[in-house]
Amino acid sequence: MQGTMVHRLMVVDDSNVIRRRIERSQDLDVQFVGAARNGREALEMHATLRPTLVTMDLTMPEMDGTECVARLIERDPELRILVVSALADKLTAIEALEKGARGFLCKPFTDRQLNEALQKLISA
């Protein structure tokens, strides 16, 4: 019998408040596996946590989200990445999608918007 896949979620954001909020607010059938404070940390943690689902901020110190998206997708093309960023211009969203992200959620967001965006990513 084939079991249902439970997604493993990693949150990447330089804000602790946002990291904790995403962890707390998501009410889907996903397993939270860890959180990283920047792109460099996310790459390190990816190797051990093996997430299948990632929320990714863009403006972060050390390594920004756009570069991190590209490098994570290089390693794992199946990884589902939702960019969660305050950068609201269309070009930024397009750039992130071109690097391999599968969705874009603009900050500020409600719990409902977050869950809908994650659900869309899981269902796709």
Partner 1 sequence: MSTDTEVSVFLEAVLNYFSTTVQQAAVCGTPFLAIDKVPELSDYTGTITISGKYSGLVAFTAPKSMLCVMLMRMQETDMCQENLCDLVGEIANTFSGNARRDFGHQFNISVPTVTIGRKNRLALPAGARPIVIPIGWRNYSSSLVVHLQ
For binding to partner 1 (CB under 8 A), which residues are involved? Answer: 14-18, 20-21, 24-25, 59-61, 85-89, 91-92, 106-110
Between the alpha carbon of residue 42 and those of residues 1, 14, 47, 108, the distances in Å are 34, 11, 9, 22
Shortest CB 105 distance to partner 1, Å: 12
Shortest CB 71 distance to partner 1, Å: 19
Residue placing its CB nearer to partner 1 in the complex, 56 or 87:
87
Shortest CB 82 distance to partner 1, Å: 16
Question: 119 CB contacts (<8 Å, ≥6 apart)?
Answer: 28
* Total number of residues shown for the chain: 124
